[in-house]
Amino acid sequence: MCRLVAYSGEPIYLETQLSDPPRSLIRQSREARESHWTVNGDGCGVGWYGNREAPGLYRSVRPAWGDSNLLSICHQLRSPMFAGHIRAATAGEVATANCHPFAVGRRLFMHNGYIGGYTRIRRAIEMMIPADLYRYRKGASDSEAIFLIAMGRGMETDPIAAMAQTLSDIVALNADLDHNEPLELAAVHTDGESLWAFRWARHHIAPTLYHRAFGSGVVIASEPYDDQHSEWHAVPEDSVIVVRPDRSMEISPFLPRQRPARTASR
């Protein structure tokens, strides 16, 4: 599965969170500790906010451990809000368009997890993306589809309700097709001012997610990037973290509706 790190706080160099720590995101691309797969080498990406309205975005199919451009970006850029991601592909080929983060306007989204049985329901999932947002569908991953479906369900006004509705609709789709597949999600969404981090799963244990303070800011990560264990706090399953513009943080329950698959008739 994938690994991710996000930061919200006073402007700092990206390298302080993405490449400098002893168990950095870049090192996790080949030595992850809390992932289904140790190696996450199917691409990398970073999104950041600067002086312009839309975020900057760099994505590559190179593994993070061998991407000198990623290291240079992390060394040179300072930002108050940024998100880094390394990919282990579960749905969608190894291609730049399938690398995270994904962007629509001012919004960024990245995801660790998967839609079970995606290849069987992909066409139906695609139909859930609103027509006016389909022009942003550049790749073939389930992660990008989740983002665009959520955008069509009100992500710009109420990200928590939009994500809950999206996941509920995907679970209902599986039930309608009599599929009893898992759905796993650890995801980060931001508009450059606030940040939302979700941890939830159907049937399985949700992918790991942690938070910690860093100066006056907040870090969200798939796994701790150092050995300061007392600084890291696991995000509970079925929860969402909201980091506000003033860097205050709130953790709330996140419980999308679930409907079981139909019982086959005899």
Residue 246 has which token pair? 């003033």
Helix (H, G, I), strand (E, B) or coil at 151: helix
**Per-residue pLDDT, 265:** 34
Q: What are phi and psi of 7, to 5 degrees?
A: -135, 140
pLDDT lower than 50: segments of the chain: 261-266
Pinpoint the alpha helices (H) of 14-141: 15-18, 25-31, 68-76, 118-127
Closest alpha carbon to 44 in 96, 90, 5, 119? 96
Residue 251 has which token pair? 């953790």
**Per-residue pLDDT, 92:** 61
The angle that helices 118-127 and 142-152 make with each other, rounded to 10 degrees, is 30
Residue 244 has which token pair? 């506000």
Residue 137 has which token pair? 């569908």
CATH code for position 45: 3.60.20.10
Q: Does residue 263 fall inside a structural domain? A: no
Residue matched to tokens 């939830």? 200
Q: Does residue 264 fall inside a structural domain? A: no
Q: Does residue 29 fall inside a structural domain? A: yes
DSSP-derived letter for residue 261 is: P
Quick count: other Cβ atoms within 10 Å of Cβ 172? Answer: 14
**Per-residue pLDDT, 11:** 98
**Per-residue pLDDT, 88:** 76
Q: Does residue 259 fall inside a structural domain? A: no
Say which amino acid occupies 126. Answer: E
Closest alpha carbon to 108 in 131, 125, 86, 85? 85
**Neighbouring-strand partners of residue 112:** 186
Q: Does residue 36 fall inside a structural domain? A: yes
Q: Does residue 56 fall inside a structural domain? A: yes
What domain count does the chain have? Answer: 1
- Burial class, 52, CB count within 10 angstroms (exposed 0-12 / middle 13-18 / buried 19+): exposed
**Per-residue pLDDT, 129:** 98
The CA R_g of the chain, rounded to the nearest whole Å, is 17
Residues 6+ apart with CB under 8 A from 163: 150, 155, 187, 189, 196, 198, 240, 254, 256
Q: Does residue 172 fall inside a structural domain? A: yes
Helix (H, G, I), strand (E, B) or coil at 218: strand
Domain hosting residue 179, numbered range: 3-253
Q: Does residue 227 fall inside a structural domain? A: yes
Cα separation, 170 vs 154, in Å, equals: 16
**Per-residue pLDDT, 94:** 82
